[in-house]
Structure 1
Amino acid sequence: MGEVAAAVVSGVLSLEDGVKVICRRSRLMATLAGAGAMASGRAARPAGAVGVGRTRRQRVVLAVVASPKSTVVGGAKESIRALIAEWESRDIMAREVAVDVASHTPQVDPILDQLADELTDLDPAEPTIPYYSATLYDPRDLAEWDADYWVDNLRHTVRFAAAVQAALEDGFRVFTELAPHPLLTHAVDQTARTLDIPHMALATMRRDQELTGGLLGAVADLHSAGARVDFAAVCPQGRLIDAPLPVWNRQQLMLVRDPNELAPGGAVLAVHPLLGAHVRLAEEPERHVWQSDVGTDTQPWLGDHQVHNVAALPGAVYCEMALAAGRAVVGDAAELRDISFDQMLLLEEQSLVSASATVTGDGAADFVVETVHEGERVRRAAARIRRNRLRGGAGRL
């Protein structure tokens, strides 16, 4: 039925004629309800077609070629369910489609003559925009779009993948599915990816989504994808205006260096602004320690991270401290494992933290960040540091 909608949009059928095709076809198909079924399978068409023909003795036929990797078959209900079980046993994704008539199969043969008779009053016209048929062998062929065409449309295999491929080959790159819920967007994506053609496949509406929001969102997506949008049709009373430029609130956030960071002669030592000065204890050569002030006076930018309106040291800071310590202890290929955040540190104007990395083996160390609260040491975060022997460069989490 999707091709009927396409025929109306392209000017082939009037809205009245499109409704005739849908309603008369649906009324006749209702007389066949109950005996048929259809199933969707994630399998390439040749393998699917061979499996259907050999194992079901033509009681199941190929109904839709949605993409190079997705097909729909139709036929007798018991045969379809047996085929689904067979496909699943071969690890082919399959599911039964929620219909009770097998369109595009011999099951609809009894109503074809009557459908042709009831559609003789159609008045088709030439399309006003490019039309790719999913019924004809060549999607680009111009059809008559008369009663016989719509009979073939009901009976023949739907060649959706071929129609999408033809449109892609002709230079179309943006596809939009107009449906209550996306069913074919993924098929378009699969076809384009198989051909290695850049594209955009967009859905307009989804279940449980407000209609207006979905359609307006689709218009925005189309515009962003480069499609030409007639905004006058969407907002006939509106006018385009220039959006105001952003107003930047420029503030210099300088890292304040402690006087202790100066070496004799006034040279500045390489001190990490969050870790502080690196000290290696002579009595414990395997232990490296740092101490720094991460308070909001020293690092005012840390005050932007707040919990219940109180500045708190973010987890990213602990990770950066651990990576910096790791590079100092095991080299640039340091990486972090088993990161834990033990207790939140609420920042004051001055907040002293101590960090240590204790070497536990070749290329490994334990990292801990602590503070002193009311005379007791409080562990704030910890991590395992390890040298990645397979890679160099900057550290990673």
Structure 2
Amino acid sequence: FAAAYTAGVLTLEDGVRLVAERGRLMETADGEMVSVLATEAEVAPLVAAYDDVTIGVINGPQSVVISGGRAHVLTIAEQLQTAGYKTRKLAIPMAAHSPLLDPVLDDFARAVRKLTLAPPKLRVISSMTGQPVTYELTDPTYWRNHLRQTVRFGDGIATLQAEGVDICIEIGPKPTLLGMAKELFDKMTDDKMTEQHQAIESSGPLVIRSSGHPVLLPSLRKGRSSTQQMVESLGKLYVQGAAIDWRGFHQAHNDTAEDGAVGPMGRQQNKVVLPTYPFQQQRYWANTPKRQVRSTLNGPAGALIDKQIRSPLHNATIFETAWTLEAFPYLRDHQVYGAVVSPGAAHLALTISAAAATWGQQSCSVADVIFPAPLVIPTASATADGRTVQLVVTPLAANGHGPAAEFKLISFDPAVVDFTDQEHAQETHATGQLWREVGAASSVCALDELRTRCPETVDVRHFYQRAADQHLSFGPAFRWVAEGWRGEKRAFARLSLPESVGSVAGYALHPGLLDGCFHVTGLIQPETVAMETLLPFAVAALRLYRPAHATATTGEWWCYAEQTGEHRWDIQLFDNAGQLIATVQGYEARVAAPEAVQGENAWQDWLYQVAWQPHTLFGLPLDDLPT
């Protein structure tokens, strides 16, 4: 991309956008890269045995990098080591130029199509082929392939040598490529270089004929002043006879010369006009998913739990998770009074996952659950680390064994180290008991019979709009109710997996699916009755007979709810065949006030709201201001 910008293919702004988008998309390729001192022909047969591994980079005749799925890459590396080849794992948390990037190639091509690409004004050597390219650089397909295909660095260096290039400048924060280039140039004999110099006529203003070793210059070097390194490389360029734009180096802009100050490179530094509005203090770093190296648990427990902490000094087991919007982006679709609130269903799903990790089975019961306070997830950049959630499970039996335990789910700010300060102490979000089910068998129900109990069709879209009017905002990830019907104090609904969620794999009971069951209770209330802002308060008992992901082949489930009291319901969840998956008895909700989730800031919008109004600046119309 630096070469494309230097050659005039794209602007600096577009180049930065493309680099940022490329980095964001490549983070999804969570794999492994291993450097091997071997030829392409020696490594290719081993790589061909796996669909998710390829030779990502060919640095030279005896140096390649394999890239792809972690398990298979490490298997190949072990085979090569056994055969006597030297290997080294690269400290790169992704599998660049590998099949793992295939799902994002079209997204990257779409990003390129939004830019304006021009033919290069300088000679450009492609890193994909090692050969010159011209109009290919204006084709988005080229950049799509650039993300995926093998990098042929060694071939590119051979082309530079053949074209008589005597000066190489690396544009980057440290001279990584220059070291590899030097090794390649060192292997080329003077006779070979002289022969190629005579056979190929070079073009370009910085190509200076020489019979010696090319001059390799860095632009920046780690641990050195950037100004010092730039000036040093500039001096070496001058000694080699390069044409330096000394006027541009020394001369300041004439229009602001009176405000100038002499900078460290002898060039006059100039003041610029800053924006008159305050800086917004927003982060523009590409978000790095923090869960990609996290959970040490397998199966349904690993989706919601990062680690299990046990100690011989304590009877309790702690299940810990970083509850952030990076780890669980779908939680952003669950908002109450404008705040992102983790649903009570997520606390129950986490508890069920802990049961799976504790007893090694999926069937369990959760009883006597109380939700004392909502778990509000910070969204401001200053608190982007969210909350650390700990589920503390303590066996009821004195010996630490048995089929029953009590639990408490708490959260705290991960940045706080002093918990004696009550303002920053932990909050309790759920308490209850956990029971292991032995020999639990679910029943089969006739779904058509449940449907006949609820003759009135409910407009689901209108239901979610009414919820939004009551400050309960459910985004796509929490809109599981696809169809609904109501009867006398009862409701029946078809639940469908939202596209934005994609899969329930890894969850014994997905938080969104259970929360969707809670939404079905809201269908019972007619549209003529004003909807209230209700949040989960208690669950008398939740019994899971088998994991919901085992029935996810169709992406559909069925839910039946009956009202047993004011703001109290019983719920049943079925698969498409009518097999019972889970039951909830005594689900109870309470009316929530704004201060329940907004805390001490709830009063700020009672009397006034912020409304921005357009206004002229220094007497100039808004359209005349620079953009």
After TM superposition, the score normalised by the length of structure 1 is: 0.53
Q: Which amino acid aligns with 2:22?
A: R
Indicate whether 1:47 and 2:62 are aligned: no
Which residue in 2 is equivalent to 1:202?
A: 217
Alignment gaps of 5+ in structure 2? 194-212, 253-261, 263-627
The answer to whether the Cα contact below 8 Å between 2:125 and 2:132 also exists between their aligned partners in 1 is yes
The answer to whether the Cα contact below 8 Å between 1:133 and 1:141 also exists between their aligned partners in 2 is no
Q: Which amino acid aligns with 1:44?
A: T
Match of residue 145, structure 1, among 118, 138, 143: 138
Aligned residue runs from structure 1 range 1-397, under 5 A: 4-30=1-27, 32-33=28-29, 35-53=30-48, 56-136=49-129, 138-140=131-133, 142-196=135-189, 197=193, 198-236=213-251
Q: Relative to 1, partners in 2 of residues 1:225 and 1:46: Cα closer, same or farther, differing over 3 Å? A: farther
> 1:299-319 deviations in whole A, cap 9, x for unaligned?
xxxxxxxxxxxxxxxxxxxxx
Distance in 2 (alpha carbons) for counterparts of 1:150 and 1:161 = 20
> 1:9-53 deviations in whole A, cap 9, x for unaligned?
1111111221221122222223x15x3111222323322333433
Instruction: State the 1:121 CA deviation.
Output: 1.6
Flag the structure with more relative contact order, 1 or 2, with Cα contacts below 8 A and sequence separation at least 6. 1
Instruction: State the 1:139 CA deviation.
Output: 3.3
Q: SS of the counterpart of 2:247?
A: helix
Q: Relative to 1, partners in 2 of residues 1:177 and 1:91: Cα closer, same or farther, differing over 3 Å? A: farther
Distance in 1 (alpha carbons) for counterparts of 2:37 and 2:218 = 21
Identity %: 28
Distance in 2 (alpha carbons) for counterparts of 1:7 and 1:157 = 18
Q: Relative to 1, partners in 2 of residues 1:227 and 1:9: Cα closer, same or farther, differing over 3 Å? A: same
Distance in 2 (alpha carbons) for counterparts of 1:203 and 1:121 = 32
The answer to whether the Cα contact below 8 Å between 1:68 and 1:194 also exists between their aligned partners in 2 is no
Q: Which amino acid aligns with 1:158?
A: V
Q: Relative to 1, partners in 2 of residues 1:215 and 1:137: Cα closer, same or farther, differing over 3 Å? A: closer
Bigger CA radius of gyration:
1
Q: Relative to 1, partners in 2 of residues 1:219 and 1:137: Cα closer, same or farther, differing over 3 Å? A: closer
Which residue in 1 is equivalent to 2:314?
A: none
Q: Relative to 1, partners in 2 of residues 1:144 and 1:209: Cα closer, same or farther, differing over 3 Å? A: closer
The answer to whether the Cα contact below 8 Å between 1:70 and 1:187 also exists between their aligned partners in 2 is no
Q: Which amino acid aligns with 2:33?
A: M
Q: Relative to 1, partners in 2 of residues 1:70 and 1:236: Cα closer, same or farther, differing over 3 Å? A: farther
Q: Relative to 1, partners in 2 of residues 1:221 and 1:144: Cα closer, same or farther, differing over 3 Å? A: closer
The answer to whether the Cα contact below 8 Å between 1:204 and 1:215 also exists between their aligned partners in 2 is yes
Distance in 1 (alpha carbons) for counterparts of 2:228 and 2:134 = 37
Instruction: State the 1:143 CA deviation.
Output: 0.9
Instruction: State the 1:91 CA deviation.
Output: 4.2
Stretch moving more, 16-25 or 135-144:
135-144
Distance in 2 (alpha carbons) for counterparts of 1:27 and 1:215 = 30
> 1:179-216 deviations in whole A, cap 9, x for unaligned?
11121112222332333233222223222222111222
After TM superposition, the score normalised by the length of structure 2 is: 0.35
Task: Count residues with an aligned counterpart.
Answer: 231
Q: Relative to 1, partners in 2 of residues 1:161 and 1:141: Cα closer, same or farther, differing over 3 Å? A: farther
> 1:161-195 deviations in whole A, cap 9, x for unaligned?
22222222122111111211121112222332333
The answer to whether the Cα contact below 8 Å between 1:122 and 1:147 also exists between their aligned partners in 2 is no
Q: Which amino acid aligns with 1:132?
A: I
